[in-house]
A = this chain, B = another copy of it.
Amino acid sequence: MPLDLLPVSAPATCCTPAASPAISEQDAVQLARTLKALADPARLRLLSLIAAQDGAEACVCDLIEPVGLSQPTVSHHLKVLTDAGLVTREKRGVWAWFALVPGALEQVTSHLGAHLTGRPA
């Protein structure tokens, strides 16, 4: 199409082109996966209990009573968090210990901030 036939301005109520690049499809899939692991009240409480401990690590034995769930349920939630790369698991004696992965949650919040907060008009 010759350049002079291209519309010179978009209609006032529609179709203004995006001003800056949106999140890529691949980044969106990855971020959604991590957010899905976070999107559960019990898992949020478990993460915050771990974060509240010195060194941001906690024995599973300290996590069961505060969240008020059975040990298998707590273990399931901790496995989801481990699989999502948000915590690591280490066996010490009879107990498993869980530690926050440094920077993992900061990466989530920085992605959310970078792509999903608006700028003033």
Contact = CB atoms under 8 A, between A and B. Distances in A.
A106 interface: yes
State the majority secondary structure of interface residues on A: helix
A19 B48 CA distance: 11
Contacts of A50: 118
Contacts of A35: 35, 38-39, 44
A56 interface: yes
Contacts of A8: none
Contacts of A13: 59, 92-93, 95
A9 interface: no
Interface in A1-58: 13-23, 25, 28-29, 31-32, 35-36, 38-45, 47-58
Given A22-B66, A25-B45, A119 B38 contact: no
A43 B29 CA distance: 10
Contacts of A53: 16, 18-19
Contacts of A59: 13-16
Contact of A22 (B43, B48, B54, B119): B48
